[in-house]
Structure 1
Amino acid sequence: MQAIRLKNIHFTYPDQYQEILSGITLDICDGQKIALIGKNGCGKSTLLKIIRGELQPTSGSISYPIAVPKIGYLPQDLMISNQLTVRDFLLQGDINSYNIIREINTLSAEKNLCVEDGLHLAELWQNYDHDNVLFWEQNVDEVIRKMDLNALANQSCNTLSAGETTRVQLALLLLQNPDILILDEPTNHLDLQELMWLENWLNNYPKAILYVSHDRVFIDHTASKIIELEKGKVVIRKGNYESFTKDKQELQEHQLKQYMQRTKLIGKLQEAAQKRHNWANSFQKETRPEGGGFVYESIFNAARTMNQQAKHIEERIIMLQNRFPIEKPIRDKTRKIMFSPVQGQPKELLSLKDIDFSYGEKQVLHNLYFYLWGGEKIWLAGANGIGKTTLLKIITGELKPTKGTVSYTNFLKVGVYNQNLNTLPGNLTILEFLKQFSDSEMEIRNFMGCLGLTGDIAYQKIEVLSWGEKAKVQLTSLLCGKYNLLLLDEPTNHLDIKTREMLEQALNQYQGAVIFVSHDRAFIQNLATRKFELK
């Protein structure tokens, strides 16, 4: 059953001349799990805004075959800053019911009510029954149970981890009972356990879900249809990510084969036409280019006949190109990034012995021993909040352990990728920031170009960049530095699939050591040489 149909959607931003969406046609049907993929900046967010009605297309139409659906939207990196408990935050989904419940609880807690307050409490209970507030409370408690939030129900929202926040926001969307859920990179900051929970939840959700994700394994486990947005157009395939990539490769190979055959055929036809023209022109000097004869006319003129044959061949070429066109298949330019070579890599880079660390009374690390050898690629694993980022900060010296020793080899130079992109200096332009890491603007530009940061974007302030662009800027700073140890805290968040694959390849070829925190299972499988898990 169709919920939304987009037909021939075009969109151009007022300050740009180039279309960002060009002839998009797609259907969103009830029960589908649709993954929207594509490079950073290709127009995914614009398409989501058009579907949600936040933007109007430049041309094209959006129709609703049955009725206008109710859409629930989960943006990326949306934190809850208020101090309400999780249950109260969800009860606020119906503000009238929440206010009645809050006032009843406040007055009921009073030991000695005055007559006026007693009458008001009685009035509130009448409103409670009249507005069916009990049903709303039961609905909230049912959603808390379904979303596995019982343990967090009385916890303050501003103390939640990123994964817990995602679950709470999803619960709030469910209370709105939307016909379609739109999720923008819901897997960011989730640990492996939360990722598997979200996969299971998506697969069992009965209504339509459209989500943006660059997590290849997550897409493979959840998607029933994949939409790839590339150069303003979409490629739509049923099935998961594995079948999509296989079909796309086979289609590109088939298109390339057809294109090469057509190019070869047209080349032969052009050669045949040119031979006939050349023969006609050299037949006799007096013969004009159009095939005319001498000043006297002859019944048969071979030059004229040969030129006519050439014209028929040229007409056939035009017919093939116009009536049966074959476009050259789009192939990404082979781009590659490479970290600076490491000279004289020692065997042992660092060691941590008998480390303890506490935040106040909360102990995070206890009796920890850790050794790192040159060239290792270590996956630092563990649930959110277990102490992975704390351990990285101890290695960099940003935090001092309460007990234990940290030893480094001589000439150790550490590069750090921080998952909190808000730590980047927003008041600087990209170029001003990156010049702190390299004196060569040409080198900076080359690295930026490989990551898709081209043109005048170098002069934009970091604060106006998208999350994906900020991630690429921070990654460029590591490429410019001459490091022999990289500490990467969730480096794949916000990066598109192509960039993730480029980063994997670069890190595998990198001669230095890497300690990384990641929940991207494909990235982990393709990179890690050793696992170090905190429990």
Structure 2
Amino acid sequence: MLVTLKDIKKIIGGNILFENLQLDIKPNEKIGLVGRNGSGKTTIFKIIAGIEQYEQGDLFLKRHTKIGYLEQIPHFPNGTVRSFLERSFEELNNLKQKMKELESEMQRTEKIERVLEMYGKIQTQFSDLGGYEMDAQLEKIADGLSISHLLQKSFEQLSGGEKTKAGLAKILLQQPELLLLDEPTNHLDLSAIEWLEEYLNHYKGSVCIISHDRTFLDHIVEKIADLENGEVDYYKGNYSSFEKQKEEKLLQEFAAFQEQQKKIKKMKEAIKRLRQWANEANPPNEGLHKRARNMERALERMEKLDRPVIDAKKMGLALTADDRSGNDVVKISGVTKQYQERGILKGIDLHVRYKERLAIVGDNGSGKSTLIKILMGKAEPSTGEITLGTQINIGYLAQNPLEGIAEDQPMIEYFRSEVSVTEGQARQILARFMFYGYAVFHKLGQLSGGEKMRLKLAIFMHQGVNVLLLDEPTNHLDVESQEVLEDALSRFDGTVIGISHDRYFLNKCFNETAYLVDGKLHRFHGTYHETKHNWERLKEDQTTLKKAPLAKNNIDTPDQINYEIEIERLEQELDDLTNQFKNGEISEQLYQIEEKERQRKLDRFYEEWATIEEK
């Protein structure tokens, strides 16, 4: 074993977080540590890293094991980001310094052969450890995590998210035997997340990950350690496999619990009958009394099974708009946005219709949040027109849903300031969103990310919101809270426009995807997973156009290529749908619904493509 935790007991604030905790990490193992927020996952990482003490138990580390632990926000008071990253090469830097000293000594000493011999040994060691690839490795990782532009900046000038990314780059450069990564995808954009996946899949060492990014875990880990009620259970496979296995296990445990309850009920009934028969006998039958007592003792000795929690309470409520919006929700034409001399948005055209679910994806700093703020009216475009449709009622859900609200305000007071109801009505509504009893009087600053999100959804539901704008809403949410949000959105009968780097969330909640790159928006029909290939193809075509310019009349513009891809895909879908109906694979009713929807979109694409052709 690389790491073993045995019978670990940890107390925080007078409460036992866990006791008798067992955890093993093997060499070259990629494992995901999952569990509810507050279950102790980060504490386990800190114990392994030697940062956190524990009350009792044993921690065994394989001798000379180097551990890389990703701090939430690392500190480096003096120096640039590059100098911060170069500290990863401590051993190589020491060897490099020795080589420089020997080079100077060569100029002064007569014992040149001895110095050359020492220099040769150190140079060989330096080379074997990758000394001549230091700069290339640093550039590669900085580029992969999208921090190359920060290398010459003072470390202390960085934002918290940028410091965390730099900290991740530093521990990757150290190449420890064990990587402990706590929410490594926070602050990363999609391209950086996908680069990190590729890097970790080829990493020669053990990797243990805490993450609420289900797709990230699916693509990397081969085992899940599930921390629940202070105990760790192991499941082979990735996160999706774990979910299925855990559900099956819970169902088996529930069946065993029900079976035992039947047995207990029968034994209690038998004990009751034996006593009744014993008392009815004349004289009373001591033998039957004795048998009843023996059976009662057997019942007491029986190891009782706890009732398994098959599923945590979920809201199961639809976000229903009082009034639906018009068919045209928002139209954007030629929108640009300048910050100082930098163009963030460069001629954005966008048309969103009723009930569409549009995801906007792109790298950090590409202008996604700026575009959302323009849609909300919180930022003005430099040029261009924005037209909102009729009967629009917008709700905005961000990664911090209550940003700017006084944290000392009680939840129920804030809710009633947003929704005109009595205190009793407010408590009834909040209970449906899993806020029970005294919890409604908790101050906003005491709420977790998931609780803040549920509170905001409760407000939206009673404000008649029919358009939702989402800005990284799943950040800082545990998986259970993410599922609550996904369930609420699936029942929402309005329009959704969202930004996210959570691919599971993107694929589940959105059927239209727009890529914001270099200030331009490129839209495709389909989920992120379905459209990624088309986007990669479009980028290749654009690169080809730039490298080999032809006469204007013979060139398909990027917009033409985009529409041609979508038209080709929809035509194929219609053919496939017709074949499914002919083969009896789908009903006539389903065929008519699906065929009508695809034909509507295809007709729209034909019209818009023809308009571009005329230009």
Question: Smaller-chain TM-score range?
Answer: 0.7 to 0.9
Q: 1:343–1:60: structure 2 CA closer, same or farther, 3 Å change rule?
A: same
State whether residues 320 and 492 of structure 2, in contact with CA within 8 Å, keep that contact through their aligned partners in structure 1: yes
Q: Which amino acid aligns with 1:184?
A: D
Partner of 1:508: 490
Distance of 2:135 and 2:212 partners within structure 1: 33
Within-5 A mapping of 1:122-521 = 138=132, 140-147=134-141, 149=143, 152=148, 155-157=151-153, 168-284=166-282, 287=283, 291=284, 303-319=285-301, 321-322=302-303, 325-336=304-315, 338=317, 340-346=319-325, 347-419=327-399, 423-425=403-405, 427-429=407-409, 431=411, 436-438=417-419, 443=426, 447=430, 450=433, 459-460=442-443, 462=445, 469-470=448-449, 472-481=451-460, 482=463, 483-521=465-503
> 1:400 Cα shift?
0.9
Equivalent position SS for 2:169? helix
TM-score (norm. length: structure 2): 0.70
Higher relative helix content: 2
Q: Which amino acid aligns with 1:63?
A: F
Q: Which moved more, 1:485-494 or 1:441-450?
A: 441-450
1:51 pairs with one of 48, 51, 55? 48
Q: 1:27–1:134: structure 2 CA closer, same or farther, 3 Å change rule?
A: closer
State whether residues 85 and 153 of structure 1, in contact with CA within 8 Å, keep that contact through their aligned partners in structure 2: no
State whether residues 339 and 479 of structure 1, in contact with CA within 8 Å, keep that contact through their aligned partners in structure 2: no
> 1:348 Cα shift?
2.2
Across the two proteins, how many residue pairs are aligned to each other? 485
Q: 1:204–1:352: structure 2 CA closer, same or farther, 3 Å change rule?
A: same
Q: 1:248–1:154: structure 2 CA closer, same or farther, 3 Å change rule?
A: closer
Distance of 1:147 and 1:183 partners within structure 2: 16
TM-score (norm. length: structure 1): 0.79
1:75 pairs with one of 71, 74, 77? 71
Q: 1:410–1:187: structure 2 CA closer, same or farther, 3 Å change rule?
A: same
Partner of 1:526: 508
State whether residues 181 and 210 of structure 2, in contact with CA within 8 Å, keep that contact through their aligned partners in structure 1: yes
Equivalent position SS for 2:490? helix
Q: Which amino acid aligns with 2:346?
A: H
Does 1:9 pair with 2:4?
no
Q: 1:434–1:99: structure 2 CA closer, same or farther, 3 Å change rule?
A: farther
State whether residues 340 and 480 of structure 1, in contact with CA within 8 Å, keep that contact through their aligned partners in structure 2: no
Distance of 1:23 and 1:229 partners within structure 2: 13
Q: 1:227–1:453: structure 2 CA closer, same or farther, 3 Å change rule?
A: farther
> 1:313 Cα shift?
2.5
Q: Unaligned stretches of 5+ in structure 1?
A: 103-118, 292-302
Does 1:87 pair with 2:82?
yes
Q: Deviations over 1:176-214 (max 9, x none)?
A: 443321111111233332222111111111111111111
Q: Which amino acid aligns with 1:58?
A: E
State whether residues 187 and 195 of structure 1, in contact with CA within 8 Å, keep that contact through their aligned partners in structure 2: yes
State whether residues 67 and 179 of structure 2, in contact with CA within 8 Å, keep that contact through their aligned partners in structure 1: yes
Partner of 2:33: 36
Q: Which moved more, 1:146-155 or 1:21-30?
A: 146-155
Does 1:22 pair with 2:19?
yes
> 1:11 Cα shift?
1.7
Distance of 2:20 and 2:192 partners within structure 1: 37
Q: 1:30–1:424: structure 2 CA closer, same or farther, 3 Å change rule?
A: farther
Q: Deviations over 1:136-180 (max 9, x none)?
A: 974531422442639927744479899876654333113444332
Identity, in percent, stands at 30
Partner of 2:602: none
Equivalent position SS for 1:246? helix
Compare relative contact order (CA 8 Å, sep 6+) and give the higher one, 1 or 2. Answer: 1
Distance of 2:288 and 2:317 partners within structure 1: 58
State whether residues 415 and 478 of structure 1, in contact with CA within 8 Å, keep that contact through their aligned partners in structure 2: no
Distance of 2:428 and 2:37 partners within structure 1: 18
Q: Deviations over 1:388-445 (max 9, x none)?
A: 1111011011211111111123443322223367944575346365554345566379
State whether residues 213 and 502 of structure 2, in contact with CA within 8 Å, keep that contact through their aligned partners in structure 1: yes
Q: Which moved more, 1:370-379 or 1:263-272?
A: 370-379
Q: Which amino acid aligns with 1:520?
A: D
Q: Which moved more, 1:430-439 or 1:407-416?
A: 430-439
Q: 1:161–1:141: structure 2 CA closer, same or farther, 3 Å change rule?
A: farther
